[in-house]
Amino acid sequence: MPALVSIVTPCFNAEQFLEETLASVLAQTYPHWEVLLVDDGSRDRTAEMAARWASRHSERARLLRHEDGRNRGTSESRNLGIRHARGEYLAFLDADDIWLPGHLGMQLDLLERHPNVGLVYGPTEEWYGWTGQAADEARNHIPELKVPTDQVLSPPGPLAAFVRRDAPTPCTCSVVVRRSAAQAVGGFEPIFTGMYDDQVLYAKLCLSAPVLASPTCSSRYRRHRDSLYSRAKATGQSVPDRRAFLLWLDGYLSAQRRPTAELERVVARELYAARHPRLARFLSRFSRGA
């Protein structure tokens, strides 16, 4: 029997984009999937739309809610989906992003051909043109992965490059993981309710299992001003969020029973720069001038 993929989609006030996101699931050439729609305390019509869609596709879709109905953030929402997942694999698709039709088929082919790999990902299009405006369409681009592709990368894989920001962190919509690997590391960390929640999971997986990057773009990350990323950048919250992530990673590495000395040095440097941004910028300019 072909492997089942459990697609986890947290939904919070996503009525504008949810239908298009779910249409991209229905368009997948790989047919063996289930969708776990997790309503995260939405205050618009999201829960109603998700319930209606799950009812129409009841044989392969379920709507989940937190017990208290409150907004608990992306980590707890994805963990709720993981707990209810039946599939051998997990795919994460936020309620404003989309997949191209071959996404699941390509990612599963890589995982099936490399049974030791815990996580696969690929490049994602930065999608501004969803507005239909020519000026926004011209801004669409696919960032380079800047890591070896079509190669199995042993732990800690590309984690140091992610932390140094020498390589872009995978967009969540490009990632497919083995459920057993995600469960073995405890899934997402609930203290991260929005920003850096995905990077926490990638860090744990990179440290525990081989990673493989595909060169093929099969997902679109919708750029809009109401996204978590855009709001964090606009309010300046992204800086303390990065510090919180680096502090967590520093503690996590210290607790590991495996050689991580080089990675620990990378994290220490990045954490120092995050704590002293002005000094770090000065030293960087001085180093370039020298």
Q: What predicted TM-score, i.e. pTM, was given to this entire model?
A: 0.92
Q: Would you list the DSSP string of 189-240?
A: -TT--BTBHHHHHHHHHHHHS-EEE-S---EEEE--TTSHHHHHHHHTTHHH
User: Quick one: which of 97, 76, 89, 115 has its CA closest to 32?
Assistant: 89
- Residue 22: pLDDT band (50, 70, 90) is very high
Q: Which of 15-19, 130-134, 168-172, 271-275 bottoms out in mean pLDDT, i.e. has the lowest? A: 271-275
- Parallel, antiparallel, or unpaired for β 61-65 and 33-39? parallel
Cβ-contact 246, 274 below 8 angstroms: yes
Domain 5-225 adopts which CATH fold? Spore Coat Polysaccharide Biosynthesis Protein SpsA; Chain A (3.90.550)
The per-residue pLDDT for 233 is 55
Q: Is the pLDDT of residue 15 over 90?
A: yes
The per-residue pLDDT for 75 is 97
For residue 88, give the DSSP letter. Answer: S
Q: Which tens digits make up the pLDDT trace of 62-102?
A: 999 999 889 999 999 999 999 999 999 999 999 999 999 99
- Residue 197: pLDDT band (50, 70, 90) is very high
Phi, psi of 2 (to 5 degrees): -60, 150
Amino acid present at 34: E
Domain boundaries, the chain: 5-225
SS3 6: strand
Cβ-contact 213, 153 below 8 angstroms: yes
Structure tokens at 260: 């991580």
- Within 13 Å and on the Cβ side, how many CA atoms surround 170? 35
- Parallel, antiparallel, or unpaired for β 176-178 and 119-121? antiparallel
Give residues with Cβ within 8 angstroms of 99, minimum separation 6.
Answer: 24, 25, 27, 28, 93, 173, 218, 219, 220
The per-residue pLDDT for 237 is 57
d(CA 162, CA 153): 14
Percent of the chain with pLDDT over 70: 91
Q: Which tens digits make up the pLDDT trace of 220-229?
A: 999 977 655 5
